Homo-oligomer: A and B are copies of this chain.
Amino acid sequence: MTQMEMARKGVVSDEMKKVAEYEGVDVEIVRQKLAEGRAVLPKNKLHRIERPMIVGEGFSVKVNANIGTSQGFSSLEEEKEKARVAIEYGADSLMVLSTWGDLREIRRAIVEMSPVPVGSVPIYDSAVRSYQMKKNVVDFSEKDFFDMVIAHAEDGIDFMTIHVGVTRRVLDRIKSSRRVLKIVSRGGAIIAGWMIKNNKENPFYEHFDELLDIAKDYDITLSLGDGMRPGAVVDASDAQQFEELFVMGELVERAREKGVQVMLEGPGHVPLNEVEMNVRLMKKIGKGAPIFLLGPLPTDRAMGYDHIACAIGGALAGYYGADFLCYVTPSEHISLPDVEDVREGVIASKIAAIVADVARGNKKAWELEKKMALARKNFDWETMFSLSLGKDVAKKKYEERPYPDKGCSMCGPFCAIKIAEEFS
């Protein structure tokens, strides 16, 4: 049984208990949200997960960190280090998005070591194999689509991005689209290219039931990928994006009917004034399914600092109901991230998630804010550092520019808290 099926039958799994404890809520709430499909608990039956997560309505906002190789940068050791650092700084899940080296070896190694759920985009493997065989990146068979999904499922992958909304009908519209950047989703472009080259429907869409059967067997959570997401603020929130969303909306119902856990992926690049609308529309069309956002970036001019732009968009999206934020690193749009980028990306997205939790009135988040305020009042630096998402970074800064008395070198003897203390 999938977690969803168990929940529907009133069975409380160990994972449900664990996430209920982590969230500080009654397990009955967890069970109910899973049964309704308003939350997902990604966990492949073959994967032992120490720290499972629940993603969805009423729960804390989660953060995903993408890792993975690319041509020229395909060290397994570096990817393992990225995974370790991402988890250390609070990533709730990892996605292994390798496009170079021995993809299966890397994927298995990460699944093996990861205490959190691991996701992937199986179609990448087909494209990479074709390219490595000196063929065009979209030169693979219809069967490959599903073979790769099964291979990833066998490797213990917990959730998979499937660009199933890239249908003939949706692709057709792109011809008249006035977007500056037509397609910026890697998986979306691969599938679109395959469809055009072969003059065929998207196999994931055409044989969606087959996909659901595989997902059900392993309890893979399907993450309906947004292959048509806008790739620039100027392209945001267009018909292309939303027509794909409407396809996803239909498929959410079909997945739920089969007891398969499902969530929706969303943009991407969205000006801040359209974030609320995007999130609400996704929740409406997706029948309350959890939302997994790639960003959103509310400006394209933050290159080198896209993690900050992403934190701005993600925090607001989270406040309006996005459940799961995919981090962006300082290297986004520039190069493959290194370990340091991963750390900075995770911290920025965790800040966004916590800002959203606080804004949504999450009890646990407020308790920690209160502890921080008290630690500040008491000049209790160790507690402050331990409550900080940057932990050692904050501590290192403090030690680099110390102040010998109570307080810090920002204000020295002119610390407002000290002066206020003296006169009240």
Contact = CB atoms under 8 A, between A and B. Distances in A.
Interface in A303-317: 303-305, 307-309, 311-313, 315-316
Contact of A338 (B189, B331, B401, B420): B401
A300 B397 contact: no
A176 B99 CA distance: 61
Contacts of A72: 401, 403-404, 409, 412
Interface in A401-424: 401-404, 408-417, 419-420, 422-424
A348 interface: yes
Contacts of A188: 416
Interface stretch (A9-17, A251-259, A350-358): A350-358
Interface in A346-404: 347-348, 351-352, 354-356, 358-361, 366, 368-370, 372-374, 376-377, 384-385, 387-391, 393-394, 397-398, 400-404
Contacts of A415: 186
A126 B424 CA distance: 21
Given A333-B410, A335-B408, A359-B273, A180 B374 contact: yes
A275 to B, nearest CB: 9
B272 A70 contact: no
A271 interface: yes
Interface in A269-285: 271-273
A59 interface: no
A234 interface: yes
B183 A299 contact: no
A290 interface: no
Nearest to A388: B303
Contact of A299 (B299, B355, B398): B355
Interface stretch (A80-88, A192-200, A239-247): A192-200
A140 interface: no
A27 interface: no
B301 A388 contact: yes
A73 interface: yes
29 contacts: A70-B410, A180-B374, A181-B377, A184-B416, A184-B420, A186-B416, A189-B423, A192-B419, A193-B420, A193-B422, A197-B423, A273-B360, A298-B315, A298-B355, A299-B354, A299-B358, A300-B369, A301-B354, A305-B348, A309-B351, A311-B312, A312-B312, A312-B315, A334-B394, A334-B398, A334-B410, A335-B402, A335-B403, A335-B410
Interface of A: 70-73, 99-100, 124, 127-128, 131, 137-138, 174-175, 180-186, 188-190, 192-193, 196-197, 231-235, 271-273, 298-305, 307-309, 311-313, 315-316, 319, 330-338, 347-348, 351-352, 354-356, 358-361, 366, 368-370, 372-374, 376-377, 384-385, 387-391, 393-394, 397-398, 400-404, 408-417, 419-420, 422-424
